[in-house]
Structure 1
Amino acid sequence: MAINKTINARPLPTGLTSSQQWTLLEWIHLVGHIETEQELKAFLEQVLAPATAERLLLALGRLNSQNQLQRLERIINVSYPAEWLDQYINENYAQHDPVLRLHLGQGPVIWEDRFSRAKGENEKRFIAEATHHGMANGVTFSAASERNRLGSILCLAGRESGRNATLISMLNSLTPHLHQAAVRVANLPPASPGNMPLSQREYDIFHWMSRGKTNWEIATILDISERTVKFHVANVIRKLNANNRTHAIVLGMHLALSPALVINE
């Protein structure tokens, strides 16, 4: 099985039993033969979910220059609560989720560790909502490929997730291979000025524009001045070659900008 040289393949973790090593090698072998999104979801549902016994989600997204997720392109939800995921997307919680500020590929992130260091009111409000939905505990794994500026996160939610050192080691080794599979099945166009026209902040503004928010409301949500919002709205209209705000929203939705989760740097 060929390894994509743009990804740092991780060695098998030490300390595994022979049975655990074979299980991990079998997982890697199965993932290496995945060619469709249906096969990828089936692997997550039929292999990983029973093994982890936790809530599971895999997502693929574009990276910024710091190897952080800029926006999510594909989400494969295996067992996350649908109500929470819908709220997360609709409220654009990605802006305030401290876990998503991780630099992809640098190792597992235990949610409680990030949540305990939350400072801003928006982060604390997000954590309170996550706790209300039973999503305060978990671990996120990640991998990235610099050549196509794509990254993946494997999120495992549950109180026991961060306590199983063996499972964490196994999933950390598996994640780069899941990332390769996600890139294969997504078949996304390369990032370029043509299909990634907006800056990070402009994506934030567009997200709320497309949901009918006024400049004042956007300023309040993002905790910036209304003058700054007007500046970014004008840039969005210009970059999308639109005639006005409404035209920009229509064009942006045609480019599939709106459904993506937008993540602040």
Structure 2
Amino acid sequence: MKAVASDSAIVLVVDDSPESLGMLNIALNNAGLMVLVALNGAQALSIIERITPDVVLLDGIMPEMDGFDTCRAIKQKLPNIPVIFMTGLTDSEYVIKGFEVGGVDYVTKPIVPDEVLARIRVHTQNAKLTQSAQAALDYAGQYVFCVSNDGALEWATPHVHELVDSLNGDAPCAWEQIQQLLAPWLAQGDQSQPLELTNFEPPLQAYFAGEHGSNHLLVRLVTPKKTKTAEALQQELPLTKREAQVLYWVSFGKTNWEVAQILDMSPRTVNKHLEQVFKKMGVDNRTAAAAISIRILESDEEAVG
């Protein structure tokens, strides 16, 4: 299903009365809304296969497929879309039935355009807030935030708030700096390369994570991995500085001769260091020692991602 790129709400009006459709089409268009019309449930379902409306105005009583069955079918495809029933029946049984099948509100005929417009504004806004909240929950365990096209913050996951609160000790200032850097990056239209946020400690990278709606962008924060050195091996393993250096280069597949050239020692000395490394690590050969070393060197120490 394709969402039409438009700043105005898209309203799908479903009614078997051409007169009602014509009146609502004029009133909603005059209010700046984009209007789609369907004379029956089947047409409505065909439309939402191609275009996703923001709200549906649905006649409750129609021949063949009535509004209640149509609402059920719409909700199966678009569970979060608000459906407002239009009905000339004030009997509470029909009102209750409309809510039971997924309707969020109802208006009675004859339709009062200003009332319908007020209901549309309320329910489309509520739907957008719900979608944003749902998206925030979906990304809750990640370092993702949502911005407008100019980089202004709209929402951020708890992980992002915690991170930004820790940057330079001034969260409002940090968000302002991030927005100033994001705006030109987003405006250039090519986010294939990450945005470097090097003025923070630790330095960060911002990756484009996709679109959320027509005018909202998702951004993911990542701390670039630091290249570990032999010191990391010495901290994790019971090795001397020189033994850790030898193991470090062995983990890169270097031969004893190559390690000797790098560390300015003889191959015989390298071999003696390796004997001590194997003994201290409780392994029998360089392959096993290198495997442990690689796990330490490649262990994830990213703060975010």
Q: Structure 1-normalised TM-score?
A: 0.29
- Structure with max Cα Rg: 2
Q: Greater RCO between the two (CA within 8 Å, min separation 6)?
A: 1
